């Protein structure tokens, strides 16, 4: 969700986490490695149906209790997210397009009353929908009656309605106003009666969230100024429950819980328990998980499914890199279990902050949607909205509106709404998804360096994706029956096929895929002339054993009859993965068990459909993949030519969902004469990396940016990367295990940071942190300390550093001040002062050397030896009489030598700054190699963290285009000036929501 704190300020500071930019493109974006999602719990016997044996075949019913209902008899779960479409437009589209296509749900924008917003030349911003005034079902998208009609019309078309429920907060307005339905309100006063709240119904924290590493801060403070409801209160819970039940009375089929991360999972469970009808409907939570943060999507599975944002980020990396890495997507143990994961290519937030692909990406976006509906992981949600531009705040513009701000009905003919859901890559793929969803993934084939792939869905479908700029012809192996097949995405209308392909008796098919296009063959649209052919004589089945399982068994019917329970025992073949090889003459089915009564079944229950040489059963699906080795490198070995001036050689790297190592990275070990080495497990992901000396000296490729490779073995010498082992023919030393270094904590409690006033800066902010915990951009405002100086007291921490900025409300105006070398300032003393020329001292600039020292808070009067808490900071020998009581410093000196107010020790008062997570989630560069906001493959060494939550934040997020232009422009200026700066650990933070 997103909203802005004040209608009067549509340009509020972005939650895209402005980067603390120096303009030199010379270091990788850095971040702490992502924390793994906890291993799925053991499937208890209580949630597993009793096995039945019928006619020699074992049929195992659903292995998990269904967490939601579906609006049609088939149990299909494809969703279309129709952002800012009116109720009348959705009703018409359900009848004419959505229902016939086979979608099970439509997700609609929030239906409750909201703020009106400032009506600019193009109407009010879209995010007004995410600032509730009451729970009346009356909004710029339509009336209550129109909403009810839409629900019924879509139900008649076989489509359920999912309502976007904004229940974490109310508005971000501090001035009184009138809502869309006429409800008067003021700050923390909302009379309702639907959603009637007073000050006692909001959390005590009235400040913005500033530390996404602090659970309490995230779930009790204000998300970009939005007034945070006390969802732990019985009264608030019941108000929300009544609202959800009201929507249920209108016929909705489920809810998308906006900003769920900002409410404790137990609060949502309590709210659900207080409903009557709503508790029986589908719930999916917007929980934007970021590595290293304490709050993760898996926590919210007690009240419904959760969105898996890492899915969309992974697709962006792949389609901007190498799509062959997607083969093992469903085997990634850092993702949610597929049967609990809502997945998408993009949504209304991520298309604006560039955390994922969007319609702006053209063919790549359509290819990604074909993958979404053809790869067996998660419950897919396509997205359709309206056109916008990233430049000049265009991403905040609302959908087409009339003069009073009411959104106009969508017209696909005028180009304002994208209507991209009507394209065959989406509309025709929904039926394909519904038909093949019980099958596994088989016959994966990779061509053209990893950007052309083909894969099958059992004996029912085959897909080819060409993510290159040239046409590709290849003869693919399939499990399809012999016959003539229509390419179901060659045209919107399938009544008269525009393109056909012939599958031979051996299952082979010669396919030509145009540049940037796909081919999808589906048995439903074919003329069958023969039976499928099966070539394998054995199948090896893999499973990532649950931590609670002592053993793992495959119970199957590969030999025609079922094995005796519990089946064939599996043995560990690589870390965490168990396997068993069984003889077979064709496709077969099976289930997994621990031999002690717990079972693992596929999504939707039943048995896994298994075929092929290597099959991995993971996240409720069967995937043609070997998790212990594949055509893509599981490990990448990087060699680096020894730099004689360095005593330590580190590699700072990132890949996939794991994100980036903490600065300065990991130590490389000697390999052979003149070379050091590091082996990195990447699971086939692209590896991006830079080198440093364990300090502030970095080695990036010429032109800045990061080195990148898919491996398997590369060497870097004098900024040139080549493939191969430079130690070949020599005896190599064994790779050393890196000993963890535990830094010593500082002996002082606080740090007072001073900055000389900057010309043109009305505000001076400090953006600071240590490790993965940083303040949210733009950081914390500094106060005037004395003439010409600003100061801020912060808590002392190991590895504390930061940068300064002008606190501008948007990325466009945000100016950053880094060290002369382009890095972060280090705060490793009780006092750190940064002068106009960027020189750094440990002297308090606001205390003159000849000024008498002042006595401590509890010090004695006069010239005696005061023992109070003096905070002069410097060792000024006082000549006068120290005054008792308040002193001018801070709060923790101990005037040991106060002769006449004398010399107290250094000031160590250090304010309580809050930190935001420094996680580099999404790492993609766009097609023009311009760096996007959420890339962890950064150019300037900063850790662009996509606390994608920024998205939900409801703030006006500036996009990667602005950031990219800003970085590149500044880079050119500094480089022209001959500055070869290297940014060691700057951070870019996106508010997690």
Nearest Cα neighbor of 104 from 368, 367, 431, 421 is 431
Residue with tokens 């300064």: 804
Q: Is the pTM of this model over 0.75?
A: no
Partners of 417 in the β-ladder: 386
Q: 589 φ, ψ to 5°?
A: -125, 160
Three-state DSSP class for residue 155: helix
Residue 91 confidence (pLDDT) above 90: yes
Distances (CA, A) of 299 to 40, 287, 325, 512, 919: 11, 9, 28, 46, 19
Residue linked to tokens 């996939």: 656
CB 440 within 8 A of CB 487: no
The residue whose two tokens read 């793929």 is: 429
Res 318 pLDDT > 50: yes
Tens digit of pLDDT for each residue in 222-276?
A: 999 999 999 999 999 999 999 999 999 999 999 999 999 999 999 999 999 999 9
Q: Supply the pLDDT for residue 619.
A: 87
Cβ 660 vs Cβ 936: under 8 Å: yes
Examine the pLDDT at 843 and tell me if it is beyond 90. Answer: yes
Residues tagged active-site: 258, 286
Q: State the average pLDDT over residues 6-17.
A: 27
Residues composing the chain:
993
User: What counts of helices (H) and strands (E) characterise the chain?
Assistant: 12, 57
The whole-number average pLDDT for the span 471-491 is 96
**Mean pLDDT (whole number) for 530-539:** 89
Cα angle 601, 617, 34; round to 5: 110
How far apart are alpha carbons 262 and 219 in whole angstroms?
A: 4
pLDDT for position 939: 29
Q: Which residues touch 49 (CB under 8 Å, ≥6 apart)?
A: 60, 61, 62, 63, 605
Residue 821 pLDDT? 63
76-to-369, 432, 991 alpha-carbon distances in Å: 17, 11, 34
Is pLDDT larger for residue 53 or for residue 310? 310
CA quadruple 87, 354, 16, 330: dihedral, nearest 10: 90
Q: Which residues on neighbouring strands pair with residue 379, listed in sequence order?
A: 342
Q: Are 256 and 348 in contact (CB under 8 A)?
A: no
More confident call, 759 vs 848: 759
CA neighbours closer than 13 Å in the CB half-sphere of residue 667: 13
Straight-line distance from the first to the last Cα atom of the chain, in angstroms, rounded to the nearest whole number: 8
Measured distance CA(855)–CA(189) in Å, rounded: 47
Element (H, E) at 147: helix 144-156
- Compute how many other C-beta atoms are within 10 angstroms of the C-beta atom of residue 158: 18
Structure tokens at 533: 């052919």
Instruction: Find all residues with CB under 8 Å of 66, minimum gap 6, and list them.
Output: none
CA distance 122 to 280: 40
Joined together, the tokens standing for residue 954 give 């409801």
With residue 511 as reference, give the H or E element that holds it: strand 508-513
Instruction: Convert 868-884 to b/e letters by CB count within 10 Å (16 or more is b).
Output: bbbbbbbebebeeebbb
Confidence of residue 397 (pLDDT cuts 50, 70, 90): very high
Least confident among 275-279, 453-457, 484-488, 884-888: 884-888
Q: What is the band of 811 on the pLDDT scale with cuts at 50, 70, 90?
A: low
**What are the tokens at 264?**
């404790």
Number of Cβ within 10 Å of residue 184's Cβ equals: 12
**All residues at 6 or more sequence positions from 785 whose CB lies less than 8 Å from its CB, including other chains:** 754, 791, 845, 846
Helices 363-374 & 424-436 angle (0-180, nearest 10): 10
Distance CA 527, CA 273 (A): 51
Beta pairing class for 177-178 and 750-756: unpaired
Kindly report, residue by residue over 120-171, the tens digit of the pLDDT.
777 899 999 999 999 999 999 999 999 999 999 999 999 999 999 999 999 9
Q: Band of the pLDDT at 633, cuts 50, 70, 90?
A: low
Please give the Cα distance from 35 to 992 (Å, whole number): 15
DSSP letters for 356-392: S--GGGTHHHHHHHHHHHHS-SSEEEEEE-B---SGG
C-alpha 860, offset from chain centre: 57
% the chain with pLDDT above 70: 76
Average pLDDT over residues 158-185: 97
- Quote the longest CA-to-CA distance of the chain: 107
Query: How many CB atoms lie under 10 A from the CB of residue 517?
Result: 21
Is residue 914 helix, strand or coil?
coil
For 440, phi and psi rounded to 5 degrees?
-95, 180
* pLDDT tens digits, 654-675: 887 777 888 889 999 999 999 9
User: Looking up tokens 């022209």, which residue turns up?
Assistant: 976
Give the range among 208-212, 248-252, 837-841, 916-920 with minimum mean pLDDT.
Answer: 916-920
* Residue 1 or residue 870, greater confidence: 1
Q: What pLDDT score was predicted for residue 947?
A: 40
Neighbours of 404 (CB within 10 A): 11
The answer to whether 370 and 518 have CB atoms below 8 angstroms apart is yes
Are the C-beta atoms of residues 73 and 127 closer than 8 Å to each other?
Answer: no
Look up residue 54 and give its two tokens.
């019928």
pLDDT tens-place string over residues 577-618: 999 999 998 999 999 999 999 999 887 788 999 999 999 999
What's the whole-number mean pLDDT along residues 446-472? 95
Alpha-carbon torsion 974, 979, 980, 983, what sign? negative
> If we measure between CA atoms, which residue out of 291, 299, 162 comes closest to residue 219?
299
Which residue shows structure tokens 């089945």? 541
């Amino acid at each position: 969700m997103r909203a802005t704190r004040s209608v009067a300020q549509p340009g509020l500071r972005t939650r895209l986490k402005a980067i603390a930019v120096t303009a030199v493109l010379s270091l990788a974006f850095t971040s702490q490695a992502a924390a793994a999602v906890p291993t799925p719990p053991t499937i208890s016997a209580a949630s597993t149906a009793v096995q039945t044996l019928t006619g020699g075949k074992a049929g195992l019913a659903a292995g998990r209790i269904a967490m939601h209902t579906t609006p049609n008899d088939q149990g299909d779960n494809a969703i279309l997210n129709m952002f800012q479409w009116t109720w009348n437009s959705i009703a018409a589209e359900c009848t004419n397009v959505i229902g016939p296509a086979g979608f099970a749900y439509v997700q609609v924008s929030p239906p409750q009353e909201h703020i009106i917003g400032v009506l600019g030349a193009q109407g009010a911003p879209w995010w007004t929908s995410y600032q509730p005034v009451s729970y009346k079902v009356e909004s710029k998208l339509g009336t209550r009656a129109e909403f009810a009609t839409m629900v019924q019309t879509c139900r008649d078309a076989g489509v359920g309605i999912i309502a976007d429920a904004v229940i974490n907060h109310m508005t971000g307005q501090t001035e009184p106003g009138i809502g869309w339905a006429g409800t008067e309100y003021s700050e923390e006063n909302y009379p309702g009666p639907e959603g009637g709240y007073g000050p006692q119904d909001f959390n005590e924290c009235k400040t913005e969230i500033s530390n996404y590493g602090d659970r309490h801060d995230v779930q009790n403070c204000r998300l970009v100024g939005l007034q945070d409801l006390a969802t732990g209160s019985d009264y608030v819970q019941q108000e929300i429950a009544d609202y959800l039940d009201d929507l249920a009375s209108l016929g909705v089929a489920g809810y998308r819980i906006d900003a769920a991360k900002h409410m404790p999972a137990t609060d949502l469970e309590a709210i659900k328990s207080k409903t009557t009808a709503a508790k029986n409907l589908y719930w999916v939570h917007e929980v934007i998980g970021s590595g290293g943060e304490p709050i993760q999507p898996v926590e919210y599975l007690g009240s419904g499914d959760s969105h898996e944002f890492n899915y969309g980020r992974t697709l962006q990396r792949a389609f901007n890199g190498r799509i062959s890495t997607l083969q093992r997507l469903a085997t990634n143990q850092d993702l949610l279990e597929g049967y609990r994961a809502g997945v998408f290519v993009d949504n209304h937030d991520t298309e604006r902050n560039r955390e994922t692909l969007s319609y702006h990406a053209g063919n790549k976006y359509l290819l990604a949607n074909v993958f979404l509906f053809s790869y067996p992981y998660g419950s897919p949600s396509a997205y359709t909205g309206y056109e916008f531009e990233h430049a000049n705040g265009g991403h905040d513009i609302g959908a087409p509106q009339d003069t009073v701000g009411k959104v106009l009905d969508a017209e696909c003919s005028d180009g304002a709404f994208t209507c991209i859901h009507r394209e065959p890559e989406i509309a025709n793929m929904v039926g394909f998804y519904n038909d093949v969803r019980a099958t596994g993934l088989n016959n994966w084939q990779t061509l053209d360096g990893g950007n052309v792939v083909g894969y099958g869905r059992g004996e029912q479908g085959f897909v080819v994706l060409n993510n290159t700029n040239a046409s590709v012809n290849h003869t693919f192996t399939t499990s399809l029956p012999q016959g003539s097949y229509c390419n179901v995405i060659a045209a919107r209308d399938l009544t008269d096929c525009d393109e056909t392909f012939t599958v031979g008796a051996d299952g082979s098919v010669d396919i030509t895929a145009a540049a940037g296009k796909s081919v999808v063959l589906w048995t439903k649209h074919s003329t069958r002339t023969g039976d499928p052919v099966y070539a394998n004589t054995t199948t090896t089945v893999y499973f990532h054993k649950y931590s609670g399982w002592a053993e793992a068994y495959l119970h199957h019917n590969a030999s025609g009859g079922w094995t005796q329970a519990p089946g064939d025992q599996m043995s560990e073949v690589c870390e965490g993965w168990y396997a068993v090889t069984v003889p077979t003459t064709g496709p077969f089915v099976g289930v997994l068990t621990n031999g002690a009564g717990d079972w693992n079944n596929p999504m939707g229950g039943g048995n896994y459909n298994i075929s092929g040489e290597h099959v991995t059963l993971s996240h409720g699906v069967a995937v043609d993949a070997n998790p212990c080795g594949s055509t893509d490198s599981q490990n990448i070995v990087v060699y680096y030519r020894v730099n004689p001036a360095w005593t330590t050689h580190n590699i700072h790297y990132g890949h996939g969902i794991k994100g980036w190592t903490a600065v300065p990275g990991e130590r490389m070990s000697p390999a052979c004469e003149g070379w050091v080495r590091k082996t990195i497990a990447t699971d086939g992901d692209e590896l991006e990396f830079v080198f440093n000396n364990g300090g502030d000296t970095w080695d990036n490729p010429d032109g800045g940016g990061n080195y990148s490779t898919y491996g398997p073995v590369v060497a870097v010498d004098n900024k040139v990367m080549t493939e191969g082992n430079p130690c070949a023919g020599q005896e190599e030393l064994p790779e050393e295990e890196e000993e963890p270094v535990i830094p010593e904590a500082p002996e002082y409690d606080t740090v007072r940071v001073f900055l000389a006033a900057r010309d043109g800066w009305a505000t001076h902010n400090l953006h600071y942190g240590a490790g993965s915990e940083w303040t949210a951009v733009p950081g914390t405002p500094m106060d005037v300390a004395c003439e010409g100086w600003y100061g801020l007291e912060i808590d002392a921490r190991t590895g504390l550093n930061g940068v300064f900025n002008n606190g501008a409300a948007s990325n466009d105006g945000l100016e950053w001040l880094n060290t002369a070398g382009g890095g972060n300032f280090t705060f490793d003393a009780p006092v750190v002062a940064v002068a106009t020329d960027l020189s750094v001292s440990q002297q308090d600039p606001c205390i003159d050397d000849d000024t008498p020292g002042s006595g401590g808070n509890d010090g004695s009067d006069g010239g005696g030896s005061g023992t109070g808490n003096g905070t002069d900071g410097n060792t000024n020998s006082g000549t006068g009489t120290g005054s008792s009581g308040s002193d001018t410093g801070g709060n923790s000196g101990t005037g040991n030598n106060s002769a006449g107010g004398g010399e107290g020790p250094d000031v160590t008062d250090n304010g309580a700054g809050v930190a935001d997570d420094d996680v580099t989630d999404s790492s993609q560069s766009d097609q023009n190699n311009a760096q996007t906001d959420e890339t962890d493959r950064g150019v300037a060494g900063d850790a662009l963290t996509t606390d994608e939550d920024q998205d939900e934040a409801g703030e006006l997020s500036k996009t990667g285009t602005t950031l990219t232009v800003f970085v590149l422009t500044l880079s050119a200026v500094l480089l022209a000036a001959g500055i070869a700066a290297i940014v060691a650990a700057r951070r870019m933070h996106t508010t997690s929501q």
